[in-house]
């Protein structure tokens, strides 16, 4: 559904959310494959450690909820590269929440980071991509966006919004020569998931998740999801009638 990427050498890739977890490991892997990689996140020391003096790397700290800082990073990176081949928006946040623990302030913080922050990224990069009529845009959602799950009262809806957004972006951008990638990980061992107090099925390491992500980009997939033995189960479950779906989720999670 997107053109395959056969050679990363010289490709200009901006990874937003590159300090830790999937974003950091993806940045490392792309640098190893010869890409030019701009690394952005809030914490500069982690970005510097990934860049490790590599001349192919640009360190450009930013916060996606701070529109001005995002535009400043964009201007620096695109000015140096004179364009971009791929933007990966990996930054996001996660907090458990159930209805009896509803916290409006926390809910709004998740919305700011997982939805409004992504919209800030779109505002920063879409004009260049449309002007080029080339390049690609990948956004990380989550399998939690497929359907309602316990403990994901706000996180799940933010990721459902990302799934819908990417589907609409594909319809608008692919005819204009711009690739769009929807990236839905399952459970990945990162600082975000370390707070979970429940068993995480098919838990992946961050390097394995990055390898699956890059493989999906190279194959030209629109929907990149992993590990498939878990994500395909959730995709099938959401097709069930609600009576069956709710009973299945309750039985599996005990919640």
> Per residue in 152-163, pLDDT tens?
999 999 999 999
Rounded to an integer, what is the distance from CA 101 to the centroid of its chain?
A: 27
The pair of structure tokens assigned to 123 is 């505002």
Q: How far apart are the first and last CA of the chain?
A: 38
Q: Which residues of 118-132 are buried (b: 16+ CB within 10 A; e: fewer)?
A: bebbbebbbebbeee
pLDDT at 188: 79
Alpha-carbon span 182 to 155, nearest angstrom: 17
117: pLDDT strictly greater than 60: yes
Q: Of 94, 146, 155, 170, which is the active-site residue?
A: 155
60: pLDDT strictly greater than 60: yes
The pair of structure tokens assigned to 57 is 């790397």
Phi/psi of residue 187, each to 5°? -80, 125
Say if strands 204-205 and 188-189 run parallel, antiparallel, or are unpaired: parallel
- Residue 241, Cβ neighbours under 10 Å: how many? 8
> With pLDDT > 70 as the criterion, what percentage of the chain qualifies?
96
Q: Give the CA distances from residue 221 to residues 31, 154, 175, 208, in Å, rounded to whole numbers and listed in that order.
A: 21, 28, 16, 18
CA angle, 162 then 230 then 113, to 5°:
25
What domains can be seen in the chain, in order of their start residue? 12-253 (3.40.50.720)
The residue-averaged pLDDT of 11-23 equals 96
Whether pTM exceeds 0.75: yes
User: Is 155 known to be catalytic?
Assistant: yes
* 8 A C-beta contact, residue 106 and residue 93: no
């Amino acid at each position: 559904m997107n053109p395959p990427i056969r050679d990363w050498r010289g490709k200009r890739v901006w990874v937003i959310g590159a300090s830790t977890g999937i974003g950091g490991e993806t940045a490392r892997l792309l640098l190893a494959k010869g890409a030019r990689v701009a690394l952005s996140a809030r914490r500069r020391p982690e970005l510097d450690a990934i860049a490790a003096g590599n001349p192919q790397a640009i360190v450009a700290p930013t916060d996606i909820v701070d529109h001005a800082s995002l535009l400043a990073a964009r201007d620096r990176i695109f000015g140096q590269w004179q364009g971009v081949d791929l933007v990966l928006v990996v930054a996001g946040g996660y907090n458990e929440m159930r209805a009896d623990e509803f916290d409006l302030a926390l809910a709004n913080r998740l919305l700011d980071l997982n939805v409004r922050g992504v919209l800030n990224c779109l505002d920063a990069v879409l004009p260049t991509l449309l002007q080029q009529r080339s390049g690609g845009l990948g956004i990380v959602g989550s399998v939690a966006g497929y359907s309602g799950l316990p403990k994901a009262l706000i996180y799940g809806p933010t990721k459902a919004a990302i799934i819908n957004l990417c589907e609409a972006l594909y319809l608008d951008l692919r005819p204009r020569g711009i690739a769009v990638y929807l990236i839905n990980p399952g459970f990945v061992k990162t600082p975000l998931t370390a707070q979970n107090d429940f068993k995480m099925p098919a838990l992946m390491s961050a390097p394995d998740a990055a390898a699956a992500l890059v493989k999906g980009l190279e194959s030209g997939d629109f929907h990149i999801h992993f590990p498939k033995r878990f994500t395909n189960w959730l995709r099938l479950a959401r097709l069930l009638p609600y009576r069956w779906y709710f009973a299945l989720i309750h039985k599996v999670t005990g919640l």
